[in-house]
Amino acid sequence: MFTFLRRLHLVLGILGILAFLATGQYMDRWHDHLRGYDDTTRMLFRSTHIYILLAAVTNAMTGLYLRPADASWRRVLQAIGSLALLAGPPLLLAGFCTEPYLSGLARPWSRPAIYLALGGVVLHLIATIPTNRRVDAS
């Protein structure tokens, strides 16, 4: 299962980096570097664009370094954390496509993605905290 999760993280990380490049080109080519847009719309486009990169890099690095934990409860935490991290890029891409056009600073897609990223990283950290095993030097 962890081999599958590693590959999924890596593939989603690479696809997310490509999505980051594509959203940058979209802002450049179709929206003329966001010239003429109000500050709120520009901020929503740019921040979600950067969040896509952050989620992509987080998934790529997780895919490169994920190793199953030693205890089963730790592996469960890792799996839940991985699911949280994997949800981020699609949610952020949806946010990039919709949030700049909403009124005000509404972030119905980006906010949960950011909280899921935080939760996923925290779960991975907890799963990898070393246990205090005492080693006798006899």
Domain boundaries, the chain: 2-127
> Of 96, 91, 102, which is closest to residue 22 (Cα–Cα)?
96
Q: Are residues 85 and 112 in contact, defined by beta-carbon separation less than 8 angstroms?
A: no
pLDDT tens, position by position, 27-66: 999 999 999 999 999 999 999 999 999 999 999 999 999 9
Token pair for 112 = 């949960």
Q: Per-residue pLDDT for 106 more than 90?
A: no
Q: Per-residue pLDDT for 134 more than 70?
A: no
